[in-house]
Structures are given as C-alpha cells and as structure tokens.
Amino acid sequence: LKRATDTHGPAPSAVQGSEFGRDLVQALVQRPRAISPKYFYDAEGSRLFDRICELPEYYPTRTEVAILRERAGEIAALAGPRAEIVEFGAGSCTKVRLLLDALERPARYLPIDISAEHLAAAAAVLRRDYAGLEVHPVAADYTQRLLLPAATPGAGRRVGFFPGSTLGNFSPEEALQFLRMAARVLRGGALLLGADLVKDPALLHAAYNDAQGVTAAFNLNLLARANRELGADFALDQFAHAAFYNAPLQRIEMHLVSRRAQRIALGGECHEMAEGETLHTENSHKFTVEGLRALAVKAGFRPGAAWADARRLFSVHWLHA
Ligand code: AVJ
C-alpha cells in the first residue's frame, strides 16, 4: 500500500478529531477494508433509512410492526402493570408507542441512544403524548458498558426492547456479548427482541437491492457523509452499491465497490483502491427461531414465547432475564 503525506485533501485534524474520521482511516488501511454500519446514521442517513422502511421490497419493519400489533395484548400481560421499558438504540422512539399503548400504566421509559440531541427531542414528544409516563433518556453507546438508573419505587418489571433486528448488525460474538449485558441490566425482567429470519435468498436480495435505489443511496451516504464532515474527496459515481446474501454465514453483506483504480485523500494521507476492491459497510445477520433461542440461553436468558408472521419472514422473542 502506497501512502503519501504530501497530498491535499482535508486537514488531518478534522479527521483525527472525530471518531468517524479515525475509524474511516483505519477502515481504509486494514485488509479487508471494513467499517461499522453505525456511521450510516447521520441526519441524511437516518432519513434514507426511514425511506427504506417504506419500500415495498423491505419487509422487516412492516412485518415486525404487524407482529407487535397482533401480540400487543399478550406482551402487555407478560410485562404486567407499571412496567419499565428500556430501549436499546431508541432513535426517534416511534416503535415503542405500540408497547406503551398496550401496557397497563407503564411507569418509566428509558430510551438509550448515542445521539443526545435526537434523544432529548424524541423524549419531549413522548412526555407530551403519555401523561403519567416518566421518560428518562440515557445518552450512551449501549455496546460499551452500560449503567442504568435504579428501579423507581413501585415499578413493575423491567422490560428491554431491541426491535428491528439491529442485533443482526453484530458479529455472533458481539451479539452474545450484547445479550449478556442485556440479561445483566434486565435481571428479573425480560427482553423483547426482534430478529429477521433466514429465508429464500431471492427475497433477501430484493430487500437490500430495491428498485428505487434507496438502499444504494443509503450505502453511498457513508462516503457523502465523509465528504461533508471530514472534507474527504470521495467521487460518489466511482463507487457501486453491492449487497448479497452470504449463505454459509447467514448474512446480507453490503459493500461499496470501487468502479476503477482510484486514490482517496483523507487525513493528510492518500489511500489507493484498485478496480473491484471493496469497503465492507454492513453485515445483517439472519436467524432461525431455534438459533436465536439457543444464543439467548447462552447469554443467560430463559426463552419464552417466539412469534412470527404467517410467512415466517420475521420473529419477535420474549426472553426472561
Ligand atoms: C437497521 C440494521 C436492521 O440490516 O436490515 C437496511 C439496516 N441496511 N437496509 C438491516 C439496513 C440496509 C437494517 N438494520
């Protein structure tokens, strides 16, 4: 690998001063090149993800919402009165409304998210709509060690909520680590978990290669974000979106493929990519109901109900902590 120090490009400080910048440099230096999908979600990326959820090919969101609606009564009975909901990666706090609407006098909602501003705004809206609900946002990275406030007096069960098959973004080892942490902070309560299911690869392929190209734009936004935030010089038309099902590893992989040999200036250094080389941007693991339950047992949960839609596209699990 050739690395020149006399290139133009962004000021090294803009890159070194940001976690995204440091991780992107690392991603371009290492082999294979790979970066965490958490960097998809700046304001533009979050907007694109919301559009993905509306796509005809992208079944996970609407299927999970349908399961949660159908099972809301059962879920509320399992949670019991005065439950405390802890959501991992709450974002705009919209899915939790399905639970809050069904639960018996929910006592407190603890949304955890890395973006503090986003979280404060979403919390204010929920407080307005749910009188009597204490909303206590926790600005934290839930993949690191997590400290939650003690249970409030008179509170019922603590119920974790991790929807959307976000678990699938983790490697199997990271997923186990996350679930062990969740079992610890939820001890005595339960985790309500959404997990996308293994299925016909053609359906999976379509969901990550939509006809309108929104998923491609979402993937490419990672480079657009680097140009905006880090002053990088990615030529977006020189990269192609690639998403495919890796059957042995039970996961969709997303990559950005270099359309030709090119140089990328970043942080005062120059990185080369040959034609056809890729930056691996996301893994989205798929699960079997039994595989997910076995993983939960390994992490210290006792699996309860597992619900799926009639086509068995998506699953929602009640795991006793
Ligand atoms: C938010 C991680 C569950 O893996 O399906 C959607 C993200 N990536 N289309 C998923 C995503 C491409 C999504 N998760």
Q: Splitting the chain (321 residues) into consecutive groups of 10 residues, what average pLDDT does each group show? A: 50 86 97 96 92 97 98 98 95 89 96 87 93 93 88 92 97 97 97 98 98 98 97 97 98 98 94 98 98 98 98 98 98
> Does the beta carbon of 284 lie inside 6 Å of ligand 1?
yes
Q: Whose CA is nearest to atom 4 of ligand 1?
A: 284
pTM for this structure?
A: 0.94
Encode pLDDT of 287-312 as tens digits.
999 999 999 999 999 999 999 999 99
Measure the CA–CA gap between 26 and 24, rounded to whole angstroms. Answer: 5
Cis amide bond preceding 201, omega within 30: no
300 neighbors 183 (Cβ within 8 angstroms): yes
Q: Whose CA is nearest to atom 14 of ligand 1?
A: 166
What does each C-alpha distance from 250 to 1, 57, 285 come to in angstroms? 32, 19, 6
35 Cα–ligand 1 center, Å: 15
Which tokens is 146 given? 């997590």
Measure the CA–CA gap between 142 and 146, rounded to whole angstroms. Answer: 6
> Does the beta carbon of 52 lie inside 6 Å of ligand 1?
yes
Which tokens is 45 given? 């990326």
> Does the beta carbon of 282 lie inside 6 Å of ligand 1?
yes
Predicted local confidence at residue 164, as pLDDT? 96
Residue with tokens 């694109």: 48
Predicted local confidence at residue 10, as pLDDT? 57
282 Cα–ligand 1 center, Å: 8
- Of 44, 47, 4, 38, the C-alpha closest to 20 is 38
Q: What is the ipTM of this complex?
A: 0.99
60 Cα–ligand 1 center, Å: 9
> Does the beta carbon of 63 lie inside 6 Å of ligand 1?
no
> Does the beta carbon of 221 lie inside 6 Å of ligand 1?
no
280 neighbors 286 (Cβ within 8 angstroms): no
> Does the beta carbon of 40 lie inside 6 Å of ligand 1?
no
Predicted local confidence at residue 93, as pLDDT? 76
Read off the DSSP letter of residue 286.
Answer: -
Atom of ligand 1 nearest to the CA of 165: 3
